[in-house]
Amino acid sequence: MFLTATNIYYYLRDVGLADAGDIAEEAYWVREIGRRNRNFHILRSPGRSLFVKQVPAVIAETSLSFAREAACAQLALQDPACASLRAVMPVLRRYDDRRHVLVYDAIDDGVSLTEWIARHGEVGEAVTDALAATLAAVHGETRASSAVAALAPVLSGEPPWIFIIGEQAETVMPNMSGGVRDVVAQLRAMPELLHGLAQLGQQWPRHCLTHGDMKFDNVMVVERGDERALRLIDWELGNLGDPLWDVAGAVCAYFQLWLLRQPVHALQGVAELAARHEVKRDARRFWAIYRGASGSLGDEAETLRLGYLCGARLALLAFELLAAAPAMTPHAQAALHCARYCFADTRAALRDLLGLHGGIAGGENVPVQLPSRDRSPWTLAPTARVAA
């Protein structure tokens, strides 16, 4: 059964998540959201709206991604030690593994961090602090969780596909766009990047639960009166892995924010231009807050690994920008160039592209005060029950 705006009411009614009273009270409206999945926003009275997603096609890869997302939500529910994960996860109401459907409570009082930035012009210190502290808490508590082992059949811990794409592009992406074919060809001609990615994949650790797709589109800012909170959505790439992969995703989101604002004529020599960009301040603050909240020393080896992972994340950005493009674009070319820079001269890339030279010999450490929950309007979202 494929859900549509016409039949979704009957599906929700049959599983106990809607009833005729919604229709009688004129408290039921459907808004279809066109993304890679079949997404529906069921608008009802405040606190009762739903978000429904279904795979667009039943194939092994998409079915597994839904199973992983459900497993992350179940971990949040079942393990008392995972309070931070439970606080930032959307509330899962139903996982239908036969029809490949996930039903969540909708986050009606939240906006994506991308939209937040469009409204406010920047990420801001408060959001940066909250995001860094939230990720550190989730990584820390799932590293120690005994319940994670029970999810091993689903969260098997394989490395993200970007680390094998150089060797297996035709298998991983059999229907590549012209733009993606261009980036694959260029990546294969960049030995620093090609072999660096492969080596990271071969050494992939399985330390804790990771979100796997950390970018501003997947962070929701929720405002309730004077309080603000964060939610992390779209856990389809959630898996056991390296917590620094999530950190690299967040750090590169700050760089992406700057990069995509640059006019095409300014992208020649982007690495030199990037040395002056202003969002490095936020990326540096994020890394400092994460280190402080996680208890990490951020030594040279750890910071260098973060630099390599940022290179991988920038290569992934090039693929994302070209998903439907017929040919290479200037911004994707710049992202790929910067990815290569991260592997060819990691210390310089950390300094010039990302501002993360603290922890590197000869680099500047920037002290940052951890936010106080007594003084900050930012809190973790309240824990909510999840219905099976």
Q: What pLDDT, in 10s, does the model give residues 170-195?
A: 998 999 999 999 999 999 999 999 99
What interhelical angle do 165-172 and 178-188 show, nearest 10? 150
pLDDT tens for each residue of 96-123: 999 999 999 999 889 999 999 999 999 9
What interhelical angle do 300-321 and 191-202 show, nearest 10? 110
For range 324-341, the mean pLDDT = 95
**Residue 280 structure tokens:** 């490095």
Residue 382, pLDDT score: 35
Q: Would strands 92-96 and 101-105 be described as parallel, antiparallel, or unpaired?
A: antiparallel
Q: What is the domain extent for residue 36?
A: 8-106
Residue 334, pLDDT score: 94
Residue 358, pLDDT score: 56
For range 146-158, the mean pLDDT = 87
Q: Tell me, yes or no, whether 75 and 114 share the same domain.
A: no
Q: Tell me, yes or no, whether 122 and 165 share the same domain.
A: yes
| Residues 40 and 106: beta-carbon distance below 8 Å | no
Element (H, E) at 315: helix 300-321
Q: Tell me, yes or no, whether 65 and 86 share the same domain.
A: yes
- Residue 251 scores a pLDDT above 50: yes
Residue 14, pLDDT score: 96
Q: Tell me, yes or no, whether 41 and 128 share the same domain.
A: no
Q: Is the pTM of this model over 0.85?
A: yes
How far apart, in Å, do the first and last CA atoms of the chain sit?
20
| Residues 245 and 309: beta-carbon distance below 8 Å | yes
Q: Which of 106, 129, 145 is the last residue of a domain?
A: 106
Q: Which of 69, 91, 106 is the last residue of a domain?
A: 106
Instruction: Choose among 186, 184, 189, 192: nearest CA to 165.
Output: 184
Q: Tell me, yes or no, whether 36 and 132 share the same domain.
A: no
CA distance 233 to 32: 18
Which SS3 state, helix, strand or coil, does residue 30 take?
A: strand
For range 290-301, the mean pLDDT = 86
Q: Tell me, yes or no, whether 234 and 367 share the same domain.
A: yes
Q: Which of 56, 79, 106 is the last residue of a domain?
A: 106
Candidate from 26-40, 272-286, 356-370 with smallest mean pLDDT? 356-370
| Residues 219 and 232: beta-carbon distance below 8 Å | yes
Residue 277: CATH number of its domain:
3.90.1200.10
Strand partners, 96: 101
**Does residue 2 sit within a domain?**
no
For range 198-219, the mean pLDDT = 96
Q: Tell me, yes or no, whether 115 and 101 share the same domain.
A: no
Q: Tell me, yes or no, whether 172 and 46 share the same domain.
A: no
Q: Tell me, yes or no, whether 281 and 311 share the same domain.
A: yes
Provide the number of structural domains found in the chain: 2
Q: Summarize the chain as % helix, strand, coil (round to 5).
A: 50, 15, 35
pLDDT tens for each residue of 41-55: 999 876 789 999 998
- Residue 363 scores a pLDDT above 70: no
Band of residue 95 on the pLDDT scale cut at 50, 70, 90 = very high
For range 247-274, the mean pLDDT = 89
Q: Would strands 378-380 and 227-232 be described as parallel, antiparallel, or unpaired?
A: parallel
**Does residue 321 sit within a domain?**
yes
